[in-house]
Amino acid sequence: MHFFDRLADRIATADSVVSVGLDPDPDRLPDSVLDADLPRWQFNRRIIDATHEHAACYKPNAAFYEDPDGWRALEETIAYAHGKDVPVLLDAKRGDIGNTARQYARILDDEEGPAADAITVNPFLGRDSLEPFLQRADKGVFVLGRTSNPGGEDLQDLELASGEKLYERVVHLADLWNGNGNVGLVVGATNPDELEEIRELVPDIPFLVPGVGAQGGDAEAAVEHGLADGVGLVNSSRGIIFAGEDADTRRDDSGDAFFKAAGQSAKQLKQRLNQFR
């Protein structure tokens, strides 16, 4: 099955478009996981146990795993999420040329071990830098289109000679690159007008919409414009996984209160988004 077919099945099963970002910042992990052999894996396992009923997808950010123990934790995390029948989108923002791009794309190879089902990519170097990802027809490829960070406008809002903005050109290119039906777009929720405009440009491409949690993006716009045929993802990372972050829950030896808070936050976000589906 193609990634977006599997995602559609998961959205229907969980009745949710929530993507849970798994960004296990070592400085914010609760005391209850710190003595584990792989604290980040132990943290993710308990987050998944607490949230999987409400998750359409998990989105680990590669930046939190780029060391030997981190990659082991990531492999365990992917395998465990798959065991709960939840797909995994690796937020890696890859984009490079030639052999380097082919090496980056190996993270999607199932023969290499537990592999991500989708990945985020950076289009700045053009199509050839993304071809090793695009040619994996069964894997999802989310192209950075319009990001939610304030500095995104430094480049993305630049007007080209054609009169279109740079992010609009990227959106059109992503549509052209979608020959295998496996392309999505990353479009931030912090500017609902732009979200609506981009949806009008590409009516059939699913979006990954970050920025609804800690960044305060527009949940209604994220659902109304982020889904294509009911398929798309609205991500929250810190707003879910660190929802229980206060002095009492961090010192709780069992960690039960900390992870229960994450489950409640994921459930609340699902219910909030489902009002607009």
SS3 content of the chain, % helix, strand, coil (to 5): 50, 15, 35
Which pLDDT score, from 0 to 100, does residue 247 have?
56
Structure-token pair, residue 203: 């009516």
Burial-class residue 176 by CB neighbours within 10 Å (0-12, 13-18, 19+).
exposed
Contacts of 27 (CB under 8 A, 6+ apart): none
pLDDT of 189 reads 81
Q: Do 187 and 209 contact (CB within 8 A), yes or no?
A: yes
Phi and psi, residue 216, nearest 5°: 75, 30
Q: Residue 14: left if φ>0, alpha if ψ -120 to 50, beta else—which one?
A: alpha
**Residues taking part in catalysis:** 93
Q: 10 Å Cβ neighbour count for 224?
A: 15
CA angle 151, 273, 238 (to 5 degrees): 50
Q: How large is the C-alpha radius of gyration of the chain?
A: 18
What are the tokens at 246? Answer: 């206060």
Tell me how long the chain is.
Answer: 277
* Cα–Cα dist 140/232, whole Å: 12
Pairing assessment for the beta strands 233-236 and 207-209 based on DSSP bridges: parallel
Q: Fill in the amino acid letter for 16.
A: S
The pLDDT score that the predictor gives to residue 216 is 57
Instruction: Give the pairing of strands 207-209 and 183-187.
Output: parallel
Distances (CA, A) of 44 to 80, 104, 147: 9, 23, 25
With H, G, I as helix, E, B as strand and everything else as coil, classify residue 166. helix
Q: Which amino acid is at 51?
A: T
- Residue 214: the pLDDT is 56
pTM above 0.85, yes or no: yes
Collapsing DSSP to helix, strand or coil, 119 comes out as strand
Tokens of 41: 């894996």
Spell out a b/e string for 186-212, using b for 16 or more CB atoms within 10 Å of the CB, else e. bbbbbbbebbebbbebbeebbbbbbbb
pLDDT tens sequence for the chain (277 residues): 899 999 999 999 999 999 999 999 999 999 999 999 999 999 999 999 999 999 999 999 999 999 999 999 999 999 999 999 999 999 999 999 989 999 999 989 987 667 999 999 999 999 999 999 999 999 999 999 999 888 988 999 999 999 999 999 999 999 999 999 999 999 988 788 889 999 999 999 999 999 775 555 688 999 999 999 999 999 999 999 999 987 566 666 788 999 999 999 999 999 999 999 9
CATH number for the domain running over 1-272: 3.20.20.70
End-to-end Cα spacing for the chain: 25
